[in-house]
Amino acid sequence: MSTSRVLLRGRYNPTAKSKRYPNLQWAQVGGKRVKICTDCIKTISKRAIAHA
């Protein structure tokens, strides 16, 4: 079983700070084409099915 060890930043272990970006995609929302994150696209599609 291979588990990755989380390295903690400290004085003697200077690891680079990583930045996380949202997964933006082009999508049609309300008749307009906008950049929206994939989680939001999933939520909107679920709500559309629930209201139909």
Residue 37, pLDDT above cutoff 70: yes
SS3 percent helix, strand, coil of the chain, rounded to 5, is 25, 25, 50
Q: What's the CA gap between 9 and 1, in Å, rounded?
A: 25
Distance of CA 31 to the CA centre of its chain: 24
With 0.75 as the threshold, say if the pTM is over it: no
Asked if 22 and 36 count as a contact pair (C-beta separation under 8 A), the reply is no
Highest mean pLDDT among 4-8, 28-32, 35-39: 35-39
Residue 46, pLDDT above cutoff 80: yes
